């Protein structure tokens, strides 16, 4: 058997996961488990880069995120699931990489420039926020990943990672492979208000939502904006509710809705009720598993501690190599 190629990806624990996260990243992570040696981690230090003032929720979000992951089918037997801050080697590698990373590379980073302009309610003029991609580079090359499954927004960070790896190798010897981004296609589904689904927009359906909550959120969804009255024919092709139907509702029913919407035989209220039922049914097993893990905290702790042990072994080996190659490795006589 040939060894599976390794991939690494992380998520910041900034709140409960929603359907956008599931369809945009997690479902893909789950699918990759059979074909790759997967290292998935919760980037809690990265959460500090923007949320350093109020850190009260990071620990709880981290735990909830692990429960979400387990509930959608990430398997600790298959994948290495861990928490960034539990592997101190990430901090050491970050420090070393920061020594060789030119500041202009970071200032040019498009996500940095965008966020500095867009986010006005937090002071992001910190060293750590500028250095975000350096920590991410450490996360990735630590495990000598060949690939990084991410959305398009993260491609610049993977590119910086490649540049940092190349620079390290040129100074100290070929240690790190250059990782490539494995693009996750973004889901067509939007939030209830037709903007990108996001916790901060208050337009999301969460994996932990009850069927009742799902029905209520779905009832508020904007449909075909042209369809003002019940008697107006609608156009499913431009309706966000219909995108959900295509994912969760059975095909025959989807065909019927597609027809009846265009002739105003079905109204949006009824159409949404049907969709909410299918969606709630699809999420029922996730919710069941959530309850299972919520009521077994020791089991979640064990998953975390086993995953961290596995990750740490690899990270320690990498750091041994790094320290040797940069000649800051004190074993025996110092500096002789």
Q: Which residue ranges make up the site for ligand TRP (CB under 6 A)? A: 8-12, 43, 46, 136, 139-140, 148, 150, 154, 157
Cα separation, 25 vs 74, whole angstroms: 12
Per DSSP, 4 falls in state P
Min CB(201)–ligand SF4 separation in Å:
20
Which option in ligand SF4, ligand TRP, none does residue 268 bind, with CB closer than 5 to 8 A by kind?
A: ligand SF4
Strand pairing partners for 36?
Answer: 5
CB-wise, 150 or 218, nearer to ligand TRP? 150
The three-class DSSP label of residue 203 is: coil
Q: Does 157 bind ligand SF4 (CB under 6 A)?
A: no
134, 165, 266, 283: residue in contact with ligand SF4 (rule CB under 6 A): 266
76, 149, 191, 234: residue in contact with ligand SF4 (rule CB under 6 A): 234
Cα separation, 268 vs 182, whole angstroms: 38
Strand pairing partners for 294?
Answer: none
CB-wise, 50 or 240, nearer to ligand TRP? 50
Q: Does 189 bind ligand SF4 (CB under 6 A)?
A: no
- Chain centroid to Cα 234, Å, comes to 35
Which option in ligand TRP, ligand SF4, none does residue 203 bind, with CB closer than 5 to 8 A by kind?
A: none
Cα separation, 184 vs 321, whole angstroms: 32
CB-wise, 112 or 206, nearer to ligand TRP? 112
Cα separation, 307 vs 316, whole angstroms: 14
Angle, helices 268-294 vs 58-72, to 10°: value is 100
Candidates 213, 256, 258; CA nearest to 233 is 258
* Choices 53-61, 126-134, 136-144, 234-242; region in contact with ligand SF4 by CB under 6 A: 234-242
Which option in ligand TRP, ligand SF4, none does residue 133 bind, with CB closer than 5 to 8 A by kind?
A: none
Specify burial of residue 139 (Cβ count, 10 A radius: 0-12, 13-18, 19+): buried
Per DSSP, 201 falls in state G
58, 138, 224, 322: residue in contact with ligand SF4 (rule CB under 6 A): 224
- DSSP letter for each residue of 105-168: HHHT-HHHHHHHHH--SS---SHHHHTHHHHHHHHHHTTT-SEEEE-GGGHHHHHHHHHHHHHH
Which option in ligand TRP, ligand SF4, none does residue 261 bind, with CB closer than 5 to 8 A by kind?
A: ligand SF4
Q: Identify residues 10-29 at the interface with ligand SF4 (CB under 6 A).
A: none
Are 278 and 248 in contact, with CB atoms under 8 Å apart? yes
Number of chain residues interacting with ligand SF4 (CB under 6 A) = 14
As given in the structure block, the two tokens for residue 134 are: 């350096």
Min CB(301)–ligand SF4 separation in Å:
44
Q: Does 249 bind ligand SF4 (CB under 6 A)?
A: no
Q: Does 268 bind ligand SF4 (CB under 6 A)?
A: yes
Which option in ligand SF4, ligand TRP, none does residue 37 bind, with CB closer than 5 to 8 A by kind?
A: none
CB-wise, 66 or 276, nearer to ligand SF4? 276
- Residue ranges that bind ligand SF4, judged by CB under 6 A: 223-224, 227, 234, 236, 239, 241-242, 257, 261, 266, 268, 271-272
């Amino acid at each position: 058997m040939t060894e599976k190629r390794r991939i690494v990806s992380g998520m910041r624990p900034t709140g409960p996961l929603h359907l956008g996260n599931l369809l945009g990243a997690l479902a893909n992570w789950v699918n990759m488990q059979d074909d790759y040696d997967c290292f998935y981690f919760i980037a809690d230090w990265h959460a500090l880069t923007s949320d350093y003032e109020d850190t009260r929720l990071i620990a709880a979000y981290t735990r909830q995120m692990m429960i979400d992951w387990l509930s959608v089918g990430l398997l600790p037997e298959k994948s290495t699931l861990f928490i960034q801050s539990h592997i101190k080697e990430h901090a050491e590698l970050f420090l070393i990489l920061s020594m060789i990373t030119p500041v202009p590379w970071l200032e040019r980073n498009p996500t940095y420039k965008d966020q500095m302009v867009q986010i006005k309610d937090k002071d992001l003029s910190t060293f750590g926020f500028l250095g975000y991609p350096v920590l991410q580079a450490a996360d990735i090359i630590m495990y000598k990943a060949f690939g990084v499954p991410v959305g398009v927004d993260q491609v610049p960070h993977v590119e910086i990672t490649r540049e940092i790896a190349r620079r390290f190798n040129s100074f100290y010897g070929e240690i790190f492979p250059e990782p490539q981004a494995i693009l996750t296609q973004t889901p067509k589904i939007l939030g209830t208000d037709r903007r990108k689904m996001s916790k901060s927009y208050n337009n999301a359906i969460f994996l932990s939502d009850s069927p009742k909550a799902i029905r209520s959120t779905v009832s508020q969804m904007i449909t075909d904006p042209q369809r003002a009255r019940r008697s107006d024919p609608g156009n499913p092709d431009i309706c966000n509710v219909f995108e959900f139907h295509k994912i969760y509702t059975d095909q025959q029913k989807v065909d019927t809705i597609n027809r009846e919407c265009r002739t105003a035989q079905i109204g949006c209220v009824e159409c949404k009720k049907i969709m909410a039922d299918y969606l709630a049914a699809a999420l029922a097993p996730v919710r069941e598993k959530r309850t299972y893990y919520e009521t077994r905290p020791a089991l979640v702790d064990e998953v975390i501690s086993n995953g961290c042990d596995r990750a740490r072994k690899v990270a320690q080996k990498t750091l041994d190599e790094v320290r040797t190659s940069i000649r800051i490795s004190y074993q025996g006589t110092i500096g002789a």
